[in-house]
Structure 1
Amino acid sequence: MTLLAHDRYCDEIAQQVGRLRAVVMSGADLSATVPTCPDWSLEHLVRHTGGALRWVELLVRTRAQEEIPEEEVPLVHGPEAKGDPDALDAWLAETGEMVVAALREAGPDAKVWAWAGIHTSGFWARRMTHELTVHRADATLAAGLPYEVAPDVAADAIDEWLQIVEFVQRTMPHDAAVELRGPGRSIHLHATDVTPEVNAEWVIELGEDGISWRRGHEKATVALRGPLTAVMLGFYRRLPLDSPELEVLGERELLEFWLERATFG
């Protein structure tokens, strides 16, 4: 598994912030419920995402060696005005510029506190790339707009999600994570629309000692097939398994079991 270059993550954050701003300014109803995050409105989702970026900017810029409380982050909850797309857009634009500047200045190897055991600024560049990748999908679904993401970013989002699930199993073995343990079961993810050089296939094995995974094409207990973006969104529970873009082969119950229990913790 190879990470993307640090500058690639920084470029992608800038681009994704721009696309999220486009959703805000598209005329979409900011009070609309987000189907994939039903407790949130579109505006709540945007403020959450921008707030996460602001928090990371402060962590990276100050080289924080411990977690910074949310209440210490300036403008973490967004502009005072509610329901104002112009104010929300301006806040997002400033937020994106701030976090990208902090990450570029730090480079990938600066020592910074992080919750997943990888205490570098590079961890945060990758994490914020995929925070945006997934929450921008939430926003476009809520706004009824088309969604697309670059193949290398979509594939890396799946890699990162699997690494997070591994980390949770090792360090936070809550009931849902423990239930993923067990012998003789496996999941295959197969992107059908990319060249073999991209290697957009994954094998996930659920073992007694936890999950393991690798890129590759192998027979498994259940397979999820479709275009790479659809596979990513399905694996992140942003696209239903019954969607026409996706095909499930084998024991669907195992895939559903995984999707219910694979969490951040």
Structure 2
Amino acid sequence: MELKELLVVAEEAGRSLIDSAEKDLDANVPKCPEWNNSELLNHLKMVWWFSAAQISAGDQNERAVPSDEMKDSPLDQLEHLLDAFQINDFSSPCWSWTSNKTVGFWVRRMAHENTVHNWDAEGALGTHSPISTLLALDGIEEKLGLLKSDADFPNTSIHLHCTDCGGEWILSTSSGELEIKREHGKADAAVKGKAEDILLYLWGRGQENLECFGDEETINNWSSIGP
């Protein structure tokens, strides 16, 4: 997806999740059982605060410490981040933990951060809006790109197969290093379903809507790798 499209997603999903969460701040977030909606919003306020600080500092080499106070209102904090996006070019330099040290990294990161947490906030109210196939496909690629080379990867392989688009990946390890092949093939286990459900699986939101084949431990292990 184009970054200008992802910026729209970041704003719309951010506003939606605030609206959903504030309808019942005490509601438990089913897929984040340690949080209720109030704690989910506090998490996002910190993420938005930190992200805006990286953009405003414009330093590729050093992670910025936020110099302003975090806003009391989640909406104010989101709008502060959106303002930072508006006054900086997508190609402007800033820190990230990846090789992409531009504002564009944070646009994409916040689009998917807000999308998944919007799904969480809606789930606390017993409903879910669909995630478009195009957005979910971009989110899968973003998630795979975030996986750190020093993560504790399973010593097994898994095949991810989207049924609503052409997305297929085989994830495996060689000498502890992650290998990603964008192709159809055999693996120790496989998950098959809509791109939306594979995206949510990769972010640890379960596998209820997926067809799963092969070793159950492998399927569980590949869903619990952090970025």
User: TM-score when scaled to structure 1?
Assistant: 0.77
Give distance in 1, aligned partners of 2:59 and 2:125: 36
Structure 2 residue aligned with 1:14: 11
CA deviations 1:173-195 (Å, max 9, x no partner) are: 3xxx3453x4xx4211112123x
**Which of 108, 116, 124 is equivalent to 1:126?**
108
Question: Aligned Cα RMSD in Å?
Answer: 2.1
Does the residue aligned with 1:34 lie in a helix, a strand or coil? Answer: coil
Task: Report how far residue 45 of structure 1 moved.
Answer: 0.5
Q: Does 1:37 align with 2:32?
A: yes
Amino acid at match of 1:229: E
**Any unmatched runs of 5+ in structure 2?**
none
Give distance in 1, aligned partners of 2:86 and 2:170: 34
Give distance in 1, aligned partners of 2:172 and 2:54: 35
Question: What does residue range 172-187 of structure 1 map to in structure 2 within 5 Å?
Answer: 173=150, 177-180=151-154, 182=155, 185-187=156-158
Contact 1:191 1:225 in 2 (8 A): yes
Amino acid at match of 2:139: A
Amino acid at match of 2:51: V
**Any unmatched runs of 5+ in structure 1?**
80-90
Structure 1 residue aligned with 2:20: 23
Give distance in 2, aligned partners of 1:133 and 1:49: 12
Q: Higher Cα Rg: structure 1 or 2?
A: 1
User: TM-score when scaled to structure 2?
Assistant: 0.88
Give distance in 2, aligned partners of 1:250 and 1:98: 46
Q: Determine what percentage of the aligned residue pairs are the same residue.
A: 27
Give distance in 2, aligned partners of 1:209 and 1:230: 27
Contact 1:13 1:96 in 2 (8 A): no
The structure that is helix-richer by fraction is 1
Q: Does 1:263 align with 2:226?
A: yes
Contact 1:10 1:104 in 2 (8 A): no
Query: Number of aligned pairs?
Result: 226
Structure 2 residue aligned with 1:92: 74
